[in-house]
Structure 1
Amino acid sequence: MKNSLTWKNIVGYGLGDVANNFAFAMGAMFLLNYYTDTAGIHAAVAGTMLLVVRIFDAVADVVVGRVVDSTRSRWGKFRPFILFGAVPLMIFSILVFSVPSFLSDGQKIFYIYLTYMGLGVCYSLVNIPYGSLSTAMTQNPEERARLGAARTIMASFTYTLLAFVISPAIGGGHGESQSTYTLYTAILAVVGVGLYWMCFASTRENITRTVEQPSLRISLRTLKSNRPLIILCLVAIATLTGTFSLSAAGLYYVRYILNDMSYFSVLIFIQTFLGAVLAAPLVPRLVRRIGKKSTFLLGSGIAACSYLTLFFFLSASPYVAFALFACASFGASLCMTVMWALEADTVEYGEYRTGVRIEGLTYSLFSFTRKCGQALGGSLPAFILVSFGYVSNQPQTAEAVMGIKLSVAVIPALFMLLAFIGMVFYPLTEKRYQQILIEIEQRKKNSQEFLETLEENQVYRRRTE
């Protein structure tokens, strides 16, 4: 299969995920702790809000996917959303970290629901087209793996950058951190808009749909018949629940168990950047040798075993704990990187089964389930902390410490194991995928030949009449 992407296209596409994570990673790493320790919102209230709003966002993703699939413009189908959605998204990324201190408790709750819902809708309007864009850039499996690797590396770099810059700045996490959060989110917003526009300028849509936009009924029937997509979505829920539980609880771990906030930057570096740098370059090679499914199974197995072992060393030895974090990060990064390529493959499978190509709605369903996993993983630590007696900005009891340990290690291990089990049943192998591509191209060729023959017959009939 002919390669079509340049490094400019691949790197430019990856820059879009840097911008994505200026909004997304900030929420994953800092938002729960910001709400509880800086804005003064009870952990149970914050956890409930994160769960409810992310499920709302997940439902909104399906609507956005339908809108994306019906879009036509001179810039393509997906790229206009990146161009015009960047500014609203970054404005809301500032607002969610700017809860006014003069509001009453009830007004604060209303404010966090309103701004976080706004952020979620704007993020969907940019991220679903961004994620779908890879399906329109290439059908080459290795190139799709490179695009996934670019996303993973860029996202991991962003996580690490934010941890090293913002974690020391917020210090103990008390009320005086508010101005720091607002300042840094404003700077990130300006840079993020520029990165989105660079992504827009350096990417092109090379794969186009050959039929008109299908009806909603046909689109939903296409999704329902796409067994690989359904299994992948269930796997994504488990994977994201595990990784986001660690992301949400990591700050509590270094603050209340290690009692040293400087470790947070090290933890994020290991958890995101180090794992991605080690794993992402290997993914195209692993895909070529053992396939995408086996690559995911390898990664989820490594992650599940590492997280489970980690539980026994969280307090005993920080160095052993960080080594196990690195092993878990490597495994999880293999999963997260190859998952984007797996999702792109399900678009062709749906087209093969039904003749309907719906990139936007396919990605929106995938995004829907990812956000369900993010919602579950991001909110579980809040409920666990409350049930184990956590009190913000105070020395924690042994029970509260155990709650933090469960959130950091046991929950990730359990859900990565579930992801492994789910992927065992994923039916789309590399050989089958290549057969599907050949069949789709043959159908398009036959359809084109039929149309040309029909046109010739009509011309001949007009001449002879």
Structure 2
Amino acid sequence: MSFTVEAGTRRLRLPHYLGYASGDAANNLAFSMTSLFLLVYYTDVVGMSAAAAGTLFLVIRVWDAFADVFAGRVVDATMTRWGKFRPFFLFGAVPLMLLSVATFTVPALAEGATAVLLAYLTYGLLGLVYSLVNIPYGSLASAMTQVPEERGRLAGFRMIGTASTMILLALVVAPQLQRFQGDPDGLQQSLLVTTALFGVVGVLLYLFLFRTATEQVPRTVAKVSLKQSLGTLRRNQPLMVLCVASLAFLCGMFALTTAQAYYARDVLQNANYIIVLTLLSSGAIFLIAPFIPWVIRTVGKKHGFVGFGAIGVVGGVVISLGPPSVPVVPLVGFGLVGVAVAGVNTLMWALEADTVEYGEWRTGVRTEGTTYALFSFTRKLGQAVGGAAAAYAIGIGGYVANAPAQSEAALWWITAAAGFLPAAFILVGIVLFLRYPLTEAAFAEMVEQTRARRADTRAGERKEVP
């Protein structure tokens, strides 16, 4: 079904897409830095056990999830001369990047139990400020356009921003892990310089996002009350299905992300393999993103989600069964998971934007902030559960920090955390998502009805003016 642009709005141009990509690149200079390397940092530099670090991840990421809900309410209650979302990029960039540096400075500030307490404090504050920047960023897409293909393209550019940053992180940080293996002080100093440089780059990227972002989808209510937000969420079945299915999928994705550095360094016996694994698991987005609008047009978001997810299940099994002595086999598995993550994650963002329209169609109120916050809440829970599950699995295997070699049991559990565990979570996500009710045709009809209702409201308001 063809889609028309609503009166008063315009088609997005390349600067809008590039600006949106730069926003997620900046987000991931903080977010993916912790997802990829914070567990290694806590075990090998701070000196925590894998189990203690896993508990920290679980506690702080659940805290982050509730911080997302708080941030969603702040966003829905905000309206300024810069718009609803853009001010958060302007004022949140510097605090977020400073906290990212602080999170990787724990041993330089304290030791022992105090260092662990400081790790909770810095990581917890990072999560709160990240929510206050990321929730408006994610909510922005639904306010930029209602055209499905443009939303798919925005999601694709967003994932390109994510993948670019993750590849950059691997290229910069992986050699440091290899060079300073067994030298926690050297690794600490190296990461301090690295995160400081990333902080400067991140602030510049947020400023570019602020400059290029546009909020043009009409809204009937500028500031949304808590009652209106909750009423919209209660009646939004597509959002609920998307959240529970995404939770399972993201548990698998973050389990793999958490175990990836250990798999490269200890199973494949070379930390520089992190670069290869990241290129395979994150670089796939450069191949997949251009085809997402085509996937949406031909098979729809729902079937695309299920199909990409199935590829991920196969990839996880290949990682676990592939012999490390023949690295090409598990590398193929990482590539398959990369295709799955690229496809499903990109479709998730487009699906979430669609649920905003569904909520407005049911209630007459747009709640981008709260809707995205609930979706992000489940993403943070996925990060918490997936990251903690991988950390616990590594701990069960008997991982020993800074040891020249790990036991066979430790290597098996690291491999399972990178392969079987993600495959199982993704399979559950596929089964849950089969209940998603919103088709492409139904979405287009729903948006047209909402537009007509808005037009009737505006006409009625004009008649009441004396």
TM-score normalised per structure 2: 0.95
Contact 2:259-2:414 at 8 Å conserved across structures: yes
- 1:239 equivalent to 2:246? Answer no
Alpha-carbon distance in structure 2 between the residues aligned to 1:228 and 1:115 = 35
- 1:140 equivalent to 2:147? Answer yes
Alpha-carbon distance in structure 2 between the residues aligned to 1:185 and 1:212 = 37
Select 1:27's aligned residue among 34, 57, 62: 34
Select 2:20's aligned residue among 10, 13, 18: 13
Q: What residue is the counterpart of 1:463 in the other structure? A: none
Contact 1:34-1:173 at 8 Å conserved across structures: no
Amino acid at match of 2:85: F
- 1:250 equivalent to 2:260? Answer yes
Q: What residue is the counterpart of 1:190 in the other structure? A: 200
1:56-95 matches, within 5 Å, as: 56-95=63-102
Contact 2:315-2:336 at 8 Å conserved across structures: yes
1:402-441 matches, within 5 Å, as: 402-441=412-451
1:109-188 matches, within 5 Å, as: 109-171=116-178, 172=181, 174-175=183-184, 176-188=186-198
Alpha-carbon distance in structure 2 between the residues aligned to 1:190 and 1:208 = 35
Q: How big is the shift at 1:173?
A: 5.5
* Secondary structure of 2:106's aligned partner: coil
1:268-307 matches, within 5 Å, as: 268-273=278-283, 275-307=284-316
Contact 1:38-1:173 at 8 Å conserved across structures: no
Q: How big is the shift at 1:218?
A: 2.7
Select 2:394's aligned residue among 369, 376, 385: 385
Contact 2:75-2:369 at 8 Å conserved across structures: yes
Select 1:353's aligned residue among 339, 357, 362: 362
Q: How many residue pairs align between the two structures? A: 455
Q: How big is the shift at 1:223?
A: 0.3
Identity %: 44
Instruction: Give unpaired runs (5+ residues) of structure 2.
Output: none
Q: Deviations over 1:113-140 (max 9, x none)?
A: 0000110011001000001011111001
Q: How big is the shift at 1:315?
A: 2.2
Alpha-carbon distance in structure 2 between the residues aligned to 1:37 and 1:179 = 13
Amino acid at match of 1:206: Q
Q: What residue is the counterpart of 2:372 in the other structure? A: 363
* Secondary structure of 1:281's aligned partner: helix
Q: How big is the shift at 1:258?
A: 1.1
Contact 1:39-1:101 at 8 Å conserved across structures: no
RMSD value over aligned CA atoms? 1.2
Point out the structure with max Rg over C-alpha.
1
Q: Which moved more, 1:183-192 or 1:377-386?
A: 377-386
Q: How big is the shift at 1:316?
A: 4.3
Q: Deviations over 1:1-57 (max 9, x none)?
A: 236100010111110111001001100110000100112112111111111011011
Instruction: Give unpaired runs (5+ residues) of structure 1.
Output: 460-465
Amino acid at match of 2:410: A
Contact 2:305-2:344 at 8 Å conserved across structures: yes
Q: What residue is the counterpart of 1:323 in the other structure? A: 332
- Describe the shift of the 1:212–1:190 C-alpha distance in structure 2 as closer, same or farther (beyond 3 A): closer
- Describe the shift of the 1:173–1:135 C-alpha distance in structure 2 as closer, same or farther (beyond 3 A): farther
Contact 1:148-1:337 at 8 Å conserved across structures: yes
Alpha-carbon distance in structure 2 between the residues aligned to 1:244 and 1:143 = 28
- 1:107 equivalent to 2:117? Answer no
Q: How big is the shift at 1:389?
A: 1.4
Q: Which moved more, 1:384-393 or 1:330-339?
A: 384-393
Alpha-carbon distance in structure 2 between the residues aligned to 1:434 and 1:88 = 40
Alpha-carbon distance in structure 2 between the residues aligned to 1:445 and 1:162 = 48
Alpha-carbon distance in structure 2 between the residues aligned to 1:423 and 1:108 = 41
TM-score normalised per structure 1: 0.96
Amino acid at match of 2:375: F
